[in-house]
Chains A and B, each alone.
Chain A
Amino acid sequence: MRPEKDDGFATWRLLSALPGVVFPALPARDAAEALAVLDQLAASQWLPAEALREKQHLQLERVLAHAYETVPYYRARWGRPADVSRFAELPLLGKEDLRGRFEDLGSRAVPADHGAVHASSTSGSTGVPVRVQKTAFVDRLWNAFTLRDHLWHGRDLREKLFVVRNRTPGLAQAPERAQNWGPATAALCATGEALLLGTETELGALLGRIAEERPGYLLAYPLVVAELARLSLAKGERLQGLREVRTYGERLDPEVRELCRRAWGAKLTDHYSTVELGYLALQCPEHEHYHVQAEGVLLEVLDDAGKPCAPGVPGRVVVTSLHNFAMPLIRYELGDFAELGEPCPCGRGLPVLKRINGRTHATLVTRGGERYWPYFGWVGILDVAPLLQHQFIQKRYDLIEAHIVTAGRLPAEQEEALRRHLLERLPAGMRVELVYRERIEVPPGGKLQQFFSEVA
């Protein structure tokens, strides 16, 4: 198979910036750069793991040198220049460092060619905001990886894209419409329309809007997707023309994939990204696991002793940005847990992330210190009891509170069945208490977690 043959490129209506030239396109400089990078990514993905690591180290060497020479924080913390051979000994950088030492983490000599420096911030899933500085070049690379994701999944860029995400409060309920899918494509090619609607939209109205617009692609948090799919199934309505559901931003419960297939006959594609570093991993074009975007980021999975975890063993995600010369993030601990996988049968040498287990605060911790990432299911659980909303919280090592919103109090046997459903998915020795709530607030960022731990 030739990947270039089926990567959806035929649907790219490239914009040429040169007068008189429409084919082949000679796009504006930044867009041309994205294509030049994509051409390299098309080859580098197939490099054997070892060759890929060599290339990665070439770039790592440069960002380490830049960090030591121009960033006060690293100069002080490392004490001496760092090189690739010493990389694993370098101290980790925590979110609290990023917040507390923001000024010291900025480079004093950002190369002019990397473009304007700007700050990006996120509310953070724990509600504590994180801010980071980036260059225009970092954004352009982000765009290139977005395009890789489109190519990997053979997207038809002429289709309509419907995006559901948190919006600035106070905006109108009507969807925002754009003539282009977004920054990755704007200067490069004409695309179908994009529609943006906030997560605060009532679910029924949201589903109605999506059905009306007939998008080819739906981009939303897994939880929103799960809710929409459940509603679609309940109403027995399909979303005509929907080809693919794209998710990001939260741990993906495998059940959501099945829900999308059942509700809409659409495949689901997930990706793993953060505001601080951009794309960390994209879903493999042929499998449900992820490929680390090794051309942009060096990702480690470490155990409690700071040693690399073997494939299949969950550990802390520690990442290094290879191209952020405004605020180099070296061995930055994201607060996520993940598992590496065995090499992918697709043939790509890019490292495999088998599972993204979730955030630290979504980790169930036992008294003995063992960690679990329980799945409770989004659909199965509704067969047990008619829940409008729910959230499970570990309050103590042995206690889970099941916060539920229902139309009325559940019959005793349903309460019991719900308890049993949860206990079957929890380690031994836990108790479950039901707590009836009027409503569960969706936090800023629009991500309602099904489970979190106050103990972790």
Chain B
Amino acid sequence: MRRTAIQCIALAALIAAGCDNPLDIDPTDRIDSPDALTTPRALELAINGAYSALQTAALYSREVVVFPEMYADNLEFTGTFTTHQEVWQRNIFPTNGAILAAWADSYAAINDVNNVLAAIPEVEDLDEEDANRLRGEALFLRALNYLNLVRYFGGVPLVLEPSVGVGPESQVPRNTQAEVYAQIAADLEEAATLLPPDGGPGRATQAAANALLARAYLEMGGNENWTKAVQKASTVIGGGFAMVEDYGDLFAAQNTGGSIFELQYTVNDNNNLAFWYFPADLGGRYGFAPTEEVYDAYEPGDERRDVSIGVMGNGDLYARKYFRVANGDDNVIILRLSEMYLIRAEANAYLDAAPATVRADIDMVRNRAGLPDLPTTVDTQDELIDAILQERRVEFAFEGYRFFDLRRNGRATTVLGIDEDHLLFPIPQAEIDVNPNLEQNPGY
């Protein structure tokens, strides 16, 4: 075909003959969007793409895990990137590129699933079971991304349809925080009815939807939501998961019985966490280091300390839950059983449940770490919340929890000394530049 085309053109001055247009060239590595999601297999591939979209440096391969720890008191900045330094100094400029990347990557992942959601009814030969599961996975992933967004930024624009153009309709205003949470809850409630019970922890399951619901309801707060958080956490706890005996196995063995949703990494996915947490002598870049404070937060005998923190010969601390620095294939556990106990404990504490009930859930987590039960003297709501926060701090250290835990319980200003205006990250300036309908968060 090419040969004919060349001849035709070279002789164009002589012959006005029809021939294949040599300017018609198709890409070899991409496909036109309208032709992309037209088969059941294509939908499966697109859902793979949506999981893959969580694996960027701004999301689970680094910053969604690091920033909530560094903005609080678990990690300190030891690197060179000013975008990271600003987070550590709790002085994030709206121009911070890492914050923009988190915003952009979350919405890219959301667009992935919005396309899948829109395509499912259009694809022929898709059997109902697959259609339900695909829709469930898509809704779960959309909710996960919105939960990340709403915790970073507060109310964000809710985009629920695939993007086809960039006209004025793309300049969406912010929804309220309540609206975003309502959408998260609605997506997850539906996902919980659609998703299969098994297939985890690498993929969304019914339990994963319920667990994420528990987390979302706890964040939303208020008696009604605390009650739902207790229900959802209990559903998951009673759903056949078991606390893995050795805390270290969560990370060393991976995909253990205590893991509800665990983002899978292979050598081809390039998880940056170990590289950025490890010191140079161990082959890392040492961009972030545990604070002395978090090291000291572990009670004597807590098995989790040495799993979580390593000490170099020169005294430097380093986080070592993610340790596969060579291949970058550490999974990232996004939801696990111990969080369900602690969610239930926290919600119960706010619902004024019996302190023993609350302590029993906390002790589940403590005992696994080789620690004794909490003393029964811990029995006021404040004391229980403090105990839960302490437990969450050491259980989930360097996994992306700490700042949200403090903020949710009204402790961020007192523990961290952050002023009220910096409890949310700034809306990225670059985004406001292209979308004047976006309002900046106060204080920026």
A binds B: no
